Amino acid sequence: MSDDTKIGINEFQQLIKDIYFERDNARGAEGTFRWFIEEVGELARAMRGADRANLNEEFGDVLAWLVSLASIMGVDMQAAAAKYAHGCPKCGATPCACD
């Protein structure tokens, strides 16, 4: 996949499911969640640096682990993201106008 390839949420979730679901599902939600948290820690470290390629990689890893966890839990990430389709879920504004 080239750097300029764009993929939708549904397609990305299915791709990650095709690649990793059997392994991640066997590990279970709790174990997969721990791996997700480890990736969030790696993202935090990358945010402190100046390496854009590493930052992109870590954001991708966090997203992959998140959608894998969602698949294990039976959550459709496209449907979950729809919560924000019309602006802030609380005030409805874009940008958010909440206090």
Statement: 9-84 belongs to CATH 3.90.550.10: no
Checking if the pLDDT of 1 tops 80, the result is no
User: What's the confidence (pLDDT) of residue 58?
Assistant: 98
Provide the whole-model pTM.
0.90
Sequence spans of domains, the chain = 9-84
**Mean per-residue pLDDT, 6-25:** 97
Map the chain to HEC letters: CCCCCCCCHHHHHHHHHHHHHHHHHHHHHHHHHHHHHHHHHHHHHHHCCCCHHHHHHHHHHHHHHHHHHHHHCCCCHHHHHHHHCCCCCCCCCCCCCCC
Tokens, residue 9:
């949420």
Question: If pLDDT is split at 50, 70 and 90, which confidence band does 5 have?
Answer: confident
* CA dist 10 → 2, 4, 15, 50, 79 (Å): 19, 18, 9, 31, 9
Query: Tens of pLDDT along 43-85?
Result: 999 999 999 999 999 999 999 999 999 999 999 999 999 999 9
Checking if the pLDDT of 3 tops 80, the result is no
**Residue tagged 């802030």 (tokens):** 88
User: Considering the chain, what is the average pLDDT of its residues?
Assistant: 96
